[in-house]
Homo-oligomer: A and B are copies of this chain.
Amino acid sequence: MLSTTFGALADPTRLAVVGRLSRGDATMGELAEPHRITPPAMTKHVTVLVDAGLVSRRRVGRTVVCSLRPEAFSEVEQWLGDLTAYWNGTVDRLEELLRGDGDGH
């Protein structure tokens, strides 16, 4: 669900994690390091992102490496596109009026 995706992004720490992962994969430790946060807290945050389908996790040696899942963001892109279509349409029609070349509809 889209609201689940937004819920996963509704926390500053998780937003920072997504930002970090957009620059490349990272281990749990690397993700936790910039934030004054304990390992269990980061495990919880990443679990939220995984459950929302935004991030994948895999074991590598004794570390756990996280990656972003780009597909998951296309749902958001789609929604934003549909939403902004409304007022872009409005703006377009306004511009036509200002240019005086409305088609009479």
Contacts and interface: CB of A to CB of B under 8 A. Distances in A.
Q: How many copies does the complex hold?
A: 2
A86 B22 contact: yes
Contacts of A86: 22-23
Main secondary structure of the interface of A (DSSP, over half): helix
Interface residues on A, range: 20 to 34
Interface in A1-17: 1-4, 6-7, 9-12, 14-15
A9 B73 CA distance: 15
A66 interface: no
Interface of A: 1-4, 6-7, 9-12, 14-15, 18-19, 22-23, 68, 70, 73, 76-77, 80, 82-84, 86-87
